[in-house]
Structure 1
């Protein structure tokens, strides 16, 4: 099997950052997110790139009234109350900003494009490693996400854990609900799953540096190893950091870091998995799309020279299933 280039995007709107950023502080990213999504889809079409859009279940609804009718019966009881999207629903005053909380229109746009998969990012942006939550509340939350997608005729095959808080004890729940794969973390110690209190400034600094300098290796993966157990781990290779004016002089290093790993995957018939959040692109849409286009143009070169293929996570899981059975 040739090397594989895959992309996953954590589609969250404000739900994904509401416990860490004020609405006013992040409004520039949110207001540009829909433009960024359309631009990404156009680039994916132009380069034949397949991607998985791991979507929070809340986004499937038109408004807060409709969402309230579909809340699960068991809710997480986080020790840090501000982590709960369910409490946020009751505590905020709902105005005319539904476009920052709900996106059935964007989900329909994404699924209409070739090669684009709607995956899940749980129902409520559920944190699997935070104190107070349980496997029972996780099951109820994920079941609600699967049902929200099913109501729109969308099967759920792929999951991305919010904040990359993968909990090995919860993988059996994915199997129960028919989810065949998830995005695991890179193998370096500073990428291991952590709850928010464990996310030290030192860990964040190492991850930032790793975007420009090779600290953790290429993070490409042997497909046969990914096929060893269900649900299949389709691990991350690199977070695509958004444009930063202060770090823009280093963008050549950032691009080179990604290209070297992509080339390693193409030559070695391995997997390279790039990911980010659409709202990361919202504040500097043109600069971020221009950088993404350079990556996709390089994928074109690797496709022509080495036969590298673009697959979404669900398509990879299907291929891994054939290897697993064999």
Structure 2
């Protein structure tokens, strides 16, 4: 088995996540205070969403710290999966938050209270700027880590939420129509759900050791089975340990006239191709000779 010494994708962008966490936490406090003063549900619903951002980012930072801990005889993969559990927890909490926002919006449709539009606008504009900065900081890491991706999508959602609050504030100031506040908050809640379910599905797929969505199982199988000397293969498994760390194991049956040096070269070539073509860096290849006079395991 190849050495499992890969750094998780999230750890590579730890500093960026810390910066966004500090910015987001500061803005959250401001938004909650102004939301209560202005009596704006749109602002408070955005703050509730921001709270899940802060919680999710804190979980992600904790998970990244955990993944840096060395593996041991009990945790042979180390603590890589903590990152996935963090993303899963974030998704579940976000679903409940969305439901609460929709419930509160419905209550306000029955009896819309007075809302201070000016306060909404000031804080929402500040939030928009902060979210754009956060998006820029996390953009690169979101393509590599499910943790960073979750944080990035949260910031994108917050950015759109800020736009919604700005629209609500302008409408209230211009027309006095209070129903725009619960309407925008409901839209914010509805926007959260589809993205949250995608994050939930991705987390569950990793925990179930499903084939990564960016890898074609058939192409990998063909890559190995069509090599010279291969009779057949079975027990091909491809899974994600954590973001940026993909593993593969396979049992290969080879012709009985194959030489030891050829087997070693075969295994090395396969491992190099899997890493360069499919980004699979942790491989276990078990080789058996066809007539089964002897068995040889090479990894």
Note whether the superposition's TM-score is higher than 0.5: no
Q: Relative CO higher for 1 or 2, CA cutoff 8 Å, sep ≥ 6?
A: 1
TM-score by length of 2: 0.27
Whose radius of gyration is greater, 1 or 2?
A: 2
TM-score by length of 1: 0.26
